[in-house]
Chain A
Amino acid sequence: MSFLLHLITVTCILLPTIVGYNLVFGKGKIFHFGQIGLQILAAYPLWISIVLFDQYPIMGLLLGLISAFVAAWLLAWLSFRLDPDGLGVMSIAVHLSALNVVLNWQSVTRGALGVPGIPRWSFLADNVSFAIFVIVAVSVWCVFVWLLDRSAFGRKLQALSEHDWYAEALGISRKNVHIVAFLVAAGGALLTGVLLPQYLYLLSPTDFAFPAMIFVVMCVVAGKPGSMGGAILATALLMMLKEGLRLLPLSPGVVGPVRLLLFGLILLGAVWYRRDALFPPQREI
């Protein structure tokens, strides 16, 4: 029972960042691989200011919000300026640079040790009430993103992803739409950055390494890029597989590589199966 609760909680915690990313990469076809970088830039200012510098939670939240939104705005700006592959490499570089700073600026971030003693609100002290809170908060977020996706904004994003020149000729502003998409992704990263360290009572840099980004990409690709329901289902199934592997009678030295192997094969299979959804061929009359 406690494993099931853990599984539900961890899946729900990851959903905001994955659903937000699905809007940018899945629906918008914007080659952005810096979602976990946004999460670093949201979570570290937030929790360091609260735990290490004794600031009010609202102040920490504000710092995390500003930091994530500024980074998202910069990435959106870069998406107008760079080739898609250039943006992909640039966003990876931004993510790894942020991680490098976190790992090496030990006087502030405590480096690889992470920041322990992340507090939870008193009414969320036990795991059941925390899980209920997470489910409610994440449901609200998912409904918000779903409404956004179904609105004129979603149609504009899709039009831009199909053919940006034609879309712009019809009066759709690529800048505005991309900025909003990136800000939503940053909002998701912030929500995950608020919930995950609270659940673990620890802000650990290992949760923000590049494999975490690969997991996010895998969830979006496997669930059909652009499909919110697909992304949610894929996250649940992949998380079940990821956590379920711990239950197998394998030594700890083997579980990690087996998980990597399985996920690599799943990612390859998902890209092969979804290759037309990931980069659809141009529609013709």
Chain B
Amino acid sequence: MEQLLINGLIAGSLAALIAGGLALVYGVLGIFNLALGQMVLLGGYAVWWLHQSVGLTLPVSIVGGLLMAGGLTWVTFEVFIAPFYKRHRFLPLVTTIALGMILDAAMLLFFEARPRSILSNGKNIMDIGGVRLSVEQVYLVVLTVLLLCVFAYVLHSTPFGRRIRAVVQHSHAAMSLGIRASVLHRVIFILSGVLAACGGIFIGIDQNLTPVLAFPITIKAYAAIIAGGKGNFWGAIVCAYLIALLEQLVIGIEWFGRFYIPAGYQQSVALLFIIVFLLCRPSGLFSFKNRTA
């Protein structure tokens, strides 16, 4: 059981990184980005390429990968989002499907379908009270928590964070107070892309990168933001951990002492989350009401 909880914590940290950025984007722009999984993987692949092919050190490769991811996200916004979302906020749902196909093709052409790991040497596995985990996993979980804490500080304790929250609550009211909402839209979208790339680096270090991972990542992130209350940053993060934990428990527990659920059903947990929450509580677990005068 302890092993399952630790596995849930590790998988949840990855999902929280990705879902957090997505929740902000939904909160501000009200759009769904169905190419999120591909953007996650491209961040990981960029670091893999810089580290394994170009031969840069890991920290430099990570910085380079994040810069590339930021640039790609900005181009994505200008080409696939900005020309469409003001016309109708549902159009990007279809354009990001197109983006997902293009990024999938790019990954298959440049990095091929075989698994790629950012670290070439084996992992340092520790055994703590019967729970097995690697030193890299500990670093990743701690770094994720630190990153989220920094994000919390920026969001809630700085003028920049106040501006973001103002735009999330009401774009037009924020603009009338002198906040440049269109710039913040871009900043938030790029920020979500960088957080997604962090998730991709996490996957590349902890597991292997393959293009087939993209869609399950997207689905899990959407399950988290739907269950957490669309646009609610902290709700999405809590639900990301919850979904990851449930995924581990569903396939790891011997049900009624008689049988195990096949591992193939693990992805169904996120799908069930989406279905159950949209049916029973469409506003999510942590929905908030817009302030009114």
Contact = CB atoms under 8 A, between A and B. Distances in A.
Interface of A: 31, 78, 81-86, 88-90, 92-94, 96-97, 100-101, 103-104, 210, 214, 217, 221, 253-254, 256-261, 263-265, 267-268, 271-272, 275-276, 278-279
A264 B91 contact: no
Contacts of B215: 210
Contact of B271 (A82, A93, A253): A93
A268 B278 contact: no
Given A85-B93, A89-B32, A264 B101 contact: yes
Interface of B: 32, 80, 83-84, 87-91, 93-95, 97-102, 104-106, 108-109, 112-113, 215, 219, 222, 226, 262, 264-265, 267-268, 271-272, 274-275, 278-279, 282
Contacts of A96: 219, 267, 271
23 contacts: A81-B282, A84-B90, A86-B226, A89-B32, A89-B274, A90-B278, A93-B219, A93-B278, A104-B264, A104-B265, A210-B215, A253-B108, A257-B104, A257-B106, A257-B109, A258-B109, A261-B106, A264-B105, A267-B101, A271-B84, A275-B84, A275-B88, A279-B88
A271 B94 contact: yes
Nearest to B278: A90
A260 B226 CA distance: 29
Given A84-B90, A264-B101, 16 more contacts: A78-B278, A85-B93, A89-B222, A93-B219, A97-B272, A104-B264, A221-B94, A253-B108, A256-B108, A258-B105, A259-B105, A264-B105, A268-B95, A268-B98, A275-B84, A275-B88
Contacts of B272: 97
Given A94-B275, A97-B271, A97-B275, A265 B109 contact: no
B274 to A, nearest CB: 4
Contacts of B87: 275-276, 279
A141 to B, nearest CB: 26
B90 A31 contact: yes
A132 to B, nearest CB: 35
Nearest to B222: A89
A253 B110 CA distance: 11
B91 A271 contact: yes
Nearest to B83: A272
Contacts of B91: 271, 275, 278-279
Contacts of A210: 215
A271 B98 contact: yes
B101 A263 contact: yes
B270 to A, nearest CB: 8
> Top 5 closest A-B pairs, CB basis?
A264-B101, A261-B105, A279-B88, A264-B102, A260-B105
Contacts of B90: 31, 84-85, 88, 279
B163 to A, nearest CB: 26
Contacts of A94: 275
A63 to B, nearest CB: 23
A100 B108 contact: no
Contacts of A97: 268, 271-272, 275
A260 B112 CA distance: 14
Nearest to B89: A85
B274 A93 contact: yes
A88 B32 contact: yes
A86 B112 CA distance: 34
A261 B101 contact: yes
Contacts of A257: 104-106, 108-109
Contacts of B278: 78, 82, 86, 89-90, 93
Contacts of A88: 32, 90, 93
B278 to A, nearest CB: 5
A150 B99 CA distance: 35
Contacts of A258: 105, 109
A280 to B, nearest CB: 9
A82 B280 CA distance: 11
Contacts of B97: 214, 217, 267
Contacts of B88: 275, 278-279
A100 B219 contact: no
A100 B93 CA distance: 23
Nearest to B265: A104
Given A100-B268, A268-B98, A271-B95, A85 B105 contact: no
A276 B112 CA distance: 37
Contacts of B80: 268
Nearest to A281: B87
A267 B32 CA distance: 17
A214 B101 contact: yes
Nearest to B215: A210
A271 B34 CA distance: 15
B102 A260 contact: yes
Contacts of A86: 226, 278, 282
Nearest to B88: A279
Given A88-B32, A263-B101, A275-B84, A100 B271 contact: yes
A74 B213 CA distance: 30
A93 B32 CA distance: 14
A267 B103 CA distance: 13
A92 B219 CA distance: 9
A92 B106 CA distance: 24
